[in-house]
Amino acid sequence: MTPTPETPRLTPVADHALLVEFAEALDDTAHAAVLRLDHALSTHPAPGLREAVPAFVNLLVEFDPALTDHAAIGAHVTSLLGASGAEASAPVTHEIGICYEAPFARDLPEVAMKLGLSEEAVINAHLAGDYRVYLYGFAPGYAYMAGVRPELRMDRKPAPVRGVAAGSVIVAGAQCLITTLTMPTGWWILGRSPAKILTGAEDRPFLFDVGDQVRFKRLSLAEYEAQNG
């Protein structure tokens, strides 16, 4: 049976986790269901729950097998899903600066050429996107945002480029992210952000929560340097 937001599939994973799937392919209704269950689990945690990991269309519930089991966690999840009025936590909107100037925007000329747009039009299209954090993955602080406008969607490059600096703003398909580490990437590099996703703050070590909205603001080189100080 294909899972749906109303009838999720609960799959046991090894001895200590349960995967709750709301769809098999990317689907906004399913993601909304993930966020609702994530919020419900944070306000009504099951005994023995270690952590919940939200993703695009499913959520992994990891538990201590000494304290509970798949059946008990499954029953808890089912009761939360059935409870009326379950809501996702209110999303926070972040304003994040990006500098699209030459030293940081190594792929801007190629992207403009590929899409048949001017560089200014690419920048404006990127600024106009409606971004939301869907999940973290790949590496600490890699927050995958969907919401890249259709005219800016490109397949990733055929081969990754090495040594892409931390803070790079990169896009591929409908997704955009700000890198936190210097790493290879096959995504297109449009700019650099001074925003620190790994904040270094003890009370809030990560800038975004899954579900948060992000608006980008254009920075001049001088503004970037001032904020990156």
**78 touches another protein by CB under 8 A:** no
The site map against another protein for 139-158 (x = CB under 8 A) is: xxxxxx--------------
* Residue 70 vs 192, nearer CB to another protein: 70
210 near 135, Cβ under 8 Å? yes
Of residues 159-188, which lie at the interface with another protein (CB under 8 A)? 180-181, 183
Nearer to another protein, 183 or 221 (CB): 183
Near another protein by CB under 8 A: residue from 17, 77, 80, 195: 17
Report in angstroms how near the CB of residue 12 gets to another protein at its nearest.
3
Nearer to another protein among residue 138 and residue 218 (C-beta): 138
By the rule CB under 8 A, 109 interacts with another protein: no
Q: How many CB atoms lie within 10 A of CB 207?
A: 21
Count other Cβ atoms within 10 Å, centred on residue 106: 18
Of the candidate residues 3, 39, 58, 105, the single one contacting another protein (CB under 8 A): 58
Q: How far is CA 2 from the centre of its chain?
A: 24
Name which of 16 and 36 has its Cβ closer to another protein. 16
